[in-house]
Amino acid sequence: MAALPDFPWDRLAPYKATAEAHPGGIVDLSVGTPVDPVPAVVREALAAASDSPGYPQTYGTPELREAAAGWMQRRLGVHVDPAAVLPTIGSKELVAWLPTLLGVGPGDRVVFPELAYPTYDVGARLAGAEPYAADGLLGLGPERVPLVWVNSPSNPTGRVLPVEHLRKVVSWARERGTIVASDECYIELGWEEQPISILHPDVCGGSHEGLLAVHSLSKRSNLAGYRAGFVTGDPKLVRQLLEIRKHAGMMMPAPVQAAMTAALGDDEHAEEQRARYAARRRALRPALERAGWRIEHSEAGLYLWAANGSDCWEQVRILAENGILVAPGDFYGVAGRAHIRIAVTATDERIDAAVSRLQ
């Protein structure tokens, strides 16, 4: 296994201390962790299933898999067989272990975007493979590329990949026998652009062969603390993942399976949460622009990708001195050195405090 990088958020500690010293307290916009209540329908389902003395099913209950397939059809226009749905203990663990679970190893490359969630890189290293950041797939050379990650909407930039781009990725991968894994954890949070799944027929031609889509309820339903996600797509690949995960004991707790089933079957709470994020975004974006930041991409998702012409750490320092903590762009790759990532996952009161300080 290749050496793992330092955990990036540890480097923010001194800036967090600076922000916490502000007389009005810290406004922490550095991490996209939910702050709003878990929906009542979800908590009620969790409580009702709390008497669960037996081992849960790695494969998930039939009700959970059917709820996930129903959500895919209803919200994304994608048909998947419930048999091709596999619950995961949040999406991060799957991102980190997917190369290993797929048999990727030494001598292989795992390709992911130049600006990307750090766990794609970590997952390649855990498998002993070579992490390779590239936005284009041409010119990769003779190296074996068994796995390519795409992420739309992007974390950190909020960029939405168009249908034509995703279609080209799928075509390239199928010519080479490469698996495409699409991280779609922010797919219901389109603002200026509407994201599309890698499994949509307009992208994949109706065949899910060689394709996996990863989904999370952390943002949609405020379930980060529940660790509730799932992967779906190519039935053959899902069966392969299931067999290994059964041996490894990768089981979502039964009460969480029940809660996730309820969450996927209810769109009302998701629309209410989306409205909260939209309002916070409408308040924060113009305040940043008036203060001298330029917002780039950010068409979807829960982050504003911003720059003011200086180094990312200088921007972090300026905002920390005003009690606002943000993430430096180089957490997500060297291409982010001039940017910062600003989350809209803070309470209305804290967003209002940030807007006031930016004036």
> pLDDT under 50 in the chain at which residues?
none
Tell me which residue has tokens 């800036």.
15
Q: At what angle do helices 92-101 and 235-248 cross, to 10 degrees?
A: 100
For the segment 41-94, what is each residue's pLDDT rounded down to a tens digit? 999 999 999 999 999 999 999 999 999 999 999 999 999 999 999 999 999 999
Rounded Cα distance between 63 and 261, Å, is 7
- 104 token code pair: 């990727």
Residue 199's contacts (CB-CB under 8 Å, 6 or more residues apart) are 72, 76, 78, 80, 182, 208, 211, 213, 232, 233
Q: What is the pTM for the complete model shown? A: 0.93
Q: Is 105 helix (H, G, I), strand (E, B) or coil?
A: coil
Instruction: Report the pLDDT value the prediction gives residue 10, as an integer from 0 to 100.
Output: 83
How far from 251 is each of 18, 93, 131, 223, CA to CA, in Å? Answer: 40, 12, 28, 17
Phi, psi of 144 (to 5 degrees): -75, 130
Residue 324's contacts (CB-CB under 8 Å, 6 or more residues apart) are 19, 26, 27, 29, 354, 357, 358
What are the structural domains, with CATH classification, of the chain?
A: 8-37+269-358 (3.90.1150.10), 40-266 (3.40.640.10)
For the segment 109-148, what is each residue's pLDDT rounded down to a tens digit? 999 999 999 999 999 999 999 999 998 765 666 678 999 9
Question: Which residue type sits at 12?
Answer: L
Dihedral angle sign, alpha carbons of residues 264, 268, 269, 275:
positive
Instruction: Report the pLDDT value the prediction gives residue 1, as an integer from 0 to 100.
Output: 61
Question: Which residue type sits at 310?
Answer: S
The residue ranges of DSSP E strands in 203-250, in sequence order, are 211-216, 228-233
Rounded Cα distance between 42 and 64, Å, is 13
Buried b (16+ CB within 10 A) or exposed e, 316-334: bebbbebbbbbbbbbbbbe
C-alpha closest to that of 173 among 149, 197, 206 = 149
Q: What angle do CA 159, 163, 165 make, to 5 degrees?
A: 70
Q: At what angle do helices 312-321 and 13-20 cross, to 10 degrees?
A: 20
